[in-house]
Amino acid sequence: MRTIEIFDTTLRDGEQTPGVNLNTNEKVEIALQLEKLGVTRIEAGFAAASPGDLRSVAEVARRVKTATVVSLARSVQGDIDKAYEALRNAENACLHVFLATSPIHRQHKLKMTKEQVVEQAVAAVKYGKKYFDQVEFSAEDAGRTELDYLAEVVKAVIEAGASIVNLPDTVGYLSPKEYGNIFREMTLRVPGIEKVKLSCHCHDDLGMAVANSLAAIEGGATQVEGTINGIGERAGNAALEEVALALETRKDFYQATTAFNLKEIARTSQLVSRLTGMIVPGNKAIVGGNAFAHESGIHQDGVLKEATTYEIINAETIGFKPKQLVLGKLSGRHAFKDKLADLGYHLEAEEIDVAFKAFKELCDKKKEVSDEDILALVDAKIVHEAESFKLDTVQLSYGNTTMPTASVRLIRADGTVAEEASCGNGSVDSIYKAIDRATGEEVTLVDYRIVSVTHGKDALGEVFVRLQQGDIDVQGRGVSTDVLEASALAYVSAINKVIVRRGEPVIATAKV
């Protein structure tokens, strides 16, 4: 039984999803959960991409203790230097360099000969070995590279000191049979390949990322790269939770497993979904809301008699609970703290006080407070990022024959108050115009989404907004039983991120 190592790139390739923009604290929160999940390597970002990305990679490297922290780098010395700067304080660090090898990339993107590509790849690996014990080399677009030339590149980088070789299906073009065959061919053609880890990295453009990853394992791959919930560039990456459960459920076939703590899968999926704003579809395998639901009478009858008639995975295996313990207004602070720990939160005393106060206020609005309510509440109320503005009050005047008018009251970080009112062509529009006037910010609303976090008439509503200001593109979120309040919270959250991204100092740290 082989153990397949997991390389998670949620924080790098996953963040390349259009509209996703994680701040440093959000990246750290996800990284710590990935470590808890049992990920072998965490690709924290692309340190050379921006000063902010370098700081995020460095902070993840500082906080993560057991998993190996990775930074991506192009095969140039400047990128490798930035990666070293970001990872120098990591307990375990790995450099990930890449260079395209396929004819179409060599001709149109790189404008380099085969010999020049080999020379640059070897030079990058050798330079990286001066700083790092672990160096992974990725042959970008390996799936469309000539097999004999790919073998030449792989042999050269192994001799240069690469400890991991990744052969990605960068554009999701290959069939499982074709992709698995690449790994078999490299095993046959490259002397000494058994001394390194062979990694696969698949995109889902044709919906075959997970199938191709499993085919690579059959072909000899010892590491799988992907993201939580399958997020990523274009159609996304291989969903790591699907790969892990396929191996776990079909051990008899694959004769391989992972070191995942399977009970952390649901929690990890939910965290990534909330922080990225990428909603998990109901029919998503493993972690979708309907993954363990049965509506057909025939199915229901079968499951009641014997669960395995229609369920090949137990919901509790991945951290879902068939019955949830519901807290209420009579619950004490100690019970609330224990519930937070059970849900995976480890907050400071001040943060628990803030969350508990918000929980009590929610209990007065809802008959029942579920685990999902608490998860949404904590994510909305515990703010780790310095804030320029905090929403204090929002009031709305609306009638179907009158112009909607909103007034807002914001508290600045220095404690002063900003109050404004505005009319709009709808309730949300009037609120957002009032906030624009109160903050003095000119932004463009690119996206606005409402999601019901929980169920029932008194359900919590979660609002995601995406704002642009020049080259700055940020996302904000807000949660409340009132979707208009949630809309205001999300908008203020996004404006705070715009100010942080501009690099302006915040006078004080505000906690909601």
- Give tens-digit pLDDT for 50-84: 999 999 999 999 999 999 999 999 999 999 999 99
DSSP SS3 for 236 = coil
2-276 in CATH: which number? 3.20.20.70
Q: What digits encode the pLDDT tens for the residues 153-168?
A: 999 999 999 999 999 9
Closest CA to 133 of 162, 156, 153, 158: 162
How far is the CA of 112 from the CAs of 101, 107, 146, 508, in angstroms? 10, 7, 15, 51
Amino acid letter, 299: H
Q: How far apart are CA 430 and CA 340, in angstroms?
A: 36
Q: How many CA atoms lie within 13 A of 494 on its CB side?
A: 36
pLDDT at 340: 79
Q: How far apart are CA 27 and CA 69, in angstroms?
A: 12
pLDDT at 24: 94
How far is the CA of 506 from the CAs of 90, 184, 310, 386, in angstroms? 29, 55, 55, 7
Kindly list the strands in the beta sheet with 405-412, ordered across the sheet, starting from the edge strand earlier in the chain. 389-397, 405-412, 417-423
- Check the CA dihedral 31-241-216-74 and report its sign: negative
- Encoded tokens for 386: 């310095």
pLDDT at 511: 36
pTM over 0.85? The answer is: no
CB of 441 within 8 A of CB of 491? no
Burial 438-473 (b: 16+ CB within 10 A, else e): bbebebeeeeeeebebbeeeebbbbbbbbbebeeeb
**Architecture of domain 389-501 in CATH?**
2-Layer Sandwich (3.30)
Q: Which residues of the chain have pLDDT under 50?
A: 295-297, 323-325, 383-384, 507-512
* CA angle at 268 for the pair 166 and 451, rounded to the nearest 5°: 115
pLDDT at 510: 35
pLDDT at 315: 82
Beta bridge partners of 395: 407
pLDDT at 153: 98
Alpha carbon of residue 323 to chain centroid: 27
